Structure 1
């Protein structure tokens, strides 16, 4: 019981720390700090044991160790790996042959996963990974060796990279900061790997999903279900961009048929879109310095791409010293439990665009609102400079969340609402000190925000109650996904509309009271002045 209490205390200690790392943060920094702390504690314990063994306490150390060894099975029984009763994957009937071939390939390549995780078909999330043993915070769940990774550097050195250079295409060798620059090369490289059955990676390629549910593959009728949402306006531009990348890369290679031994389908727009969307959904963003880049880059890792999304504390890093891609946890997972990977805090539009799913009642959901004025408006340059000091540019989209707009975004609206007098007098610079400009400015901010929300709601072709009734029916996956997205966006907008209408009403009531109070004070002052004049007379 004492050891169990210590373990739970350590677990709560790690849970208490905010150690989750999103893909936009330096990968692995907080987790490495956590693991270093655990290792340093272990080092201190080791040094104490060495001191005991080197002194007169040797007999006590031997006694303690023998007692621990004797009692370990009963004390830590729940943490046994338990792999002795797990059916070998090649004998399991629930796995198709492609998955069995894939797991055998990983084993042959020396990747140690059998004692860590297990592939399973789970309720609600489909294919996923289960824990074959219990994991404590700070433990590595999976380590993928470098020879099994798909990286920008690997693609550059491949026959695809050579073909890009020979035909004057960008082979992603400039060390750019953006992950976007390497996407065409990676997409073409993945397509060739998929169709090249003699390649060593073919067992991995065979288990990659061919039917993707991102809106990039939706019909025009299905896309119309997104009408009114931010994503609906973005989707056409995103699709056109992917098609442009295809024309400038894969189609050029197809004109020269640089891979005559492979089917000509590898140059098609259909295959390019599949490869592009697959990388977009399944690759991990890591520090690109290990590949000669100054920014972040995308890499694909077998087995690691089977983790489903969950709101958990897990993270990953590329270990530059060993070349391994490592995934580890900052929370406790029990044996047999599904292990999730946190895909980051995204709104439903981002989840749908990148992964092809949405989360009902997503706590991180938001609707984007652009804040700007025409460049012919008075004090445009001055207001633009003030917004930059706040960390924004004119026209940036601000996140209207369930909790409303953040104060920094409200400050941008305060700048845009500032009058000529407030700009000339310098009153508008109050926001740089965290203060409001004036009551009339606040009224303008709330009125503008209410008008914007009502404008966004008017763009949806249906009402909220209509969506809530339709969604109860048995619908195709893509249609239901679109309905959930727009329904939850409407709920968010209506909630905020009500919030800012109440705030505006309170503000107007407060300013009305102030005006009445000011008039009363002015009237009393006039009466006092008259009394003073009478006294003087």
Structure 2
């Protein structure tokens, strides 16, 4: 908090002339539905709906612009060609490396962002800290895609397990490509045996996936925002993090070009060329950015000491666990993927099966590959039913059509086709349920048995909660579609 205050983040617990006391206080440990959720933000006092929760000056954020300036001063202008996640990961790893090397006895001045870096969660399985950097953080990254294989086995049958493996493989591929494309050309900056190891690269992306925000007012610009990233998610909250013109003047904003250059030198620790470090800070574009701040507004009234939330978006439990490491049993946006194909429809060998296959190929689809759709507790997408209507087409349905493209599957074609499409959906749901080694009732019993639940690790409990929620959606879908079939047969 001291670092924030020193760098113009208003966190004072005392009111000043024309400005109320800051409404929030940091809680070292919070809960999300009885599971530890790390740090969070609580209401220091009653907070009114529409009140600003925090204001963080834009120039304190990790953005690609900062990364470009940082590495340009180090003789690596190629960072400007990297996409946002790669640029921010490089900046995060380089600054983290400076902190660790300074604490290991190096003569460098460390990182301007050191207090913020100290607050970031550590890598998974680092229960025994190996250096001072990791001792500073009481949290651990727990995103599903970073779990080991033993924990992933608890999600056997869930499509989320495949998603986790796919995401991890993609990030590892990005690392090896970055090594070939960039890191190996500048070994004095990108130490692949130290700060830029694969393990640290995974940590950086874990931090970005779980803490970086996309700012709508900045055309979706990606940013790591100190302090703002402590606020936790609620699926029932509508408040979100964005930027706006600064309400109160910042010294950095009002400063002359030499003063802004001095600030950049402080950020860069006076390494690299003195002039190139602040290159462009006098431009109108940069002055505009320097006059902005990151903010979130309360979407409702908060009582004193109540935890304050924002929304991370309308995400399913699978997405929340995959990227953030938690689930919500009351999540109204929860869903589970179900996959269907011509083969799974049960009608793959009908008399027009080959025509269907040729049509899908002409549309750029591989007929043997499954098409996946989200199922929700109370609905399924229209696109799913349209695909199943197509898969269930018979010669009678297409009589009089010279091409399947003329058949309108956006509306019911016949009672027989509607029943067949729904039968195929029920079959897909039952197949999905059979892939799990346990039933939803068994999962429910395991969680309700307090003595049994205590024997499970946090990751195992989260896995049971996720797979139970997925099975409940599949079961509700089956029951709902069966009622639809009964209505069609009346």
**Quick check: TM above 0.5?**
yes
Coordinate RMSD, CA, aligned:
3.0
Is the partner of 1:338 in helix, strand or coil?
Answer: coil
Q: State the 1:490 CA deviation.
A: 1.2
**Are residues 383 and 307 of structure 1, via their aligned partners in 2, closer, same or farther at CA, if it must alter by over 3 Å?**
same
Q: Gapped runs of 5+ residues in structure 2?
A: 13-21, 32-36, 100-109, 123-139, 246-287
Residue of structure 1 in register with 2:238 after alignment = 313
**Are residues 255 and 382 of structure 1, via their aligned partners in 2, closer, same or farther at CA, if it must alter by over 3 Å?**
closer
C-alpha distance in structure 2 between counterparts of 1:441 and 1:163, whole Å: 65
Bigger mean CA offset, 373-382 vs 479-488: 373-382
Residue of structure 2 in register with 1:490 after alignment = 471
C-alpha distance in structure 1 between counterparts of 2:41 and 2:8, whole Å: 19
Residue of structure 2 in register with 1:451 after alignment = 427
Which has more radius of gyration? 1
Moved over 6 A (4+): 260-263, 383-388
Q: State the 1:148 CA deviation.
A: 0.5
Which residue of 184, 208, 220 corresponds with 1:296? 220
Residues 15-30 of structure 1: matches in 2 within 5 Å? none
C-alpha distance in structure 2 between counterparts of 1:408 and 1:261, whole Å: 46
Residues 139-218 of structure 1: matches in 2 within 5 Å? 139-159=51-71, 165=77, 171-173=79-81, 181-197=83-99, 198-210=110-122, 211-218=140-147
Residue of structure 2 in register with 1:107 after alignment = 5
On the 8 A contact 2:190/2:196 being kept in 1, the answer is no
Deviations 1:108-165 (A, max 9, x none): 1111122221112355244211223333333221111022011111112212796654
**Are residues 411 and 263 of structure 1, via their aligned partners in 2, closer, same or farther at CA, if it must alter by over 3 Å?**
closer
On the 8 A contact 2:171/2:202 being kept in 1, the answer is yes
Residue of structure 2 in register with 1:335 after alignment = 304
Residues 421-436 of structure 1: matches in 2 within 5 Å? 421-425=396-400, 429-432=407-410, 435-436=411-412
Question: How many pairs align?
Answer: 385
Residue of structure 1 in register with 2:27 after alignment = 120
Residue of structure 2 in register with 1:223 after alignment = 152
C-alpha distance in structure 1 between counterparts of 2:425 and 2:190, whole Å: 59
C-alpha distance in structure 2 between counterparts of 1:414 and 1:238, whole Å: 32
Deviations 1:320-348 (A, max 9, x none): 65321121123222333221111122111
Is the partner of 1:403 in helix, strand or coil?
Answer: coil
**Are residues 324 and 423 of structure 1, via their aligned partners in 2, closer, same or farther at CA, if it must alter by over 3 Å?**
farther
- Tell whether 2:187 aligns with 1:258: yes
Bigger mean CA offset, 406-415 vs 277-286: 406-415
On the 8 A contact 1:188/1:250 being kept in 2, the answer is no
Residue of structure 1 in register with 2:43 after alignment = 131
Residue of structure 2 in register with 1:502 after alignment = 483
**Are residues 109 and 262 of structure 1, via their aligned partners in 2, closer, same or farther at CA, if it must alter by over 3 Å?**
farther
On the 8 A contact 1:134/1:333 being kept in 2, the answer is yes
Q: State the 1:253 CA deviation.
A: 5.6
Deviations 1:202-260 (A, max 9, x none): 11000101021112332211111111111112222211111111112257665456346
C-alpha distance in structure 1 between counterparts of 2:160 and 2:76, whole Å: 33
Deviations 1:153-180 (A, max 9, x none): 11122127966545xxxx3548xxxxxx
Residue of structure 1 in register with 2:126 after alignment = none
C-alpha distance in structure 1 between counterparts of 2:73 and 2:160, whole Å: 33
Q: Gapped runs of 5+ residues in structure 1?
A: 1-102, 175-180, 389-393, 511-537
Residues 463-482 of structure 1: matches in 2 within 5 Å? 463-471=439-447, 472=449, 473=452, 474=454, 475-482=456-463
**Are residues 257 and 408 of structure 1, via their aligned partners in 2, closer, same or farther at CA, if it must alter by over 3 Å?**
closer
TM-score, structure 1 length as denominator? 0.65
| Structure with higher helix content | 1
**Are residues 299 and 366 of structure 1, via their aligned partners in 2, closer, same or farther at CA, if it must alter by over 3 Å?**
same
Is the partner of 2:40 in helix, strand or coil?
Answer: strand
- Tell whether 2:323 aligns with 1:323: no
C-alpha distance in structure 1 between counterparts of 2:75 and 2:444, whole Å: 52
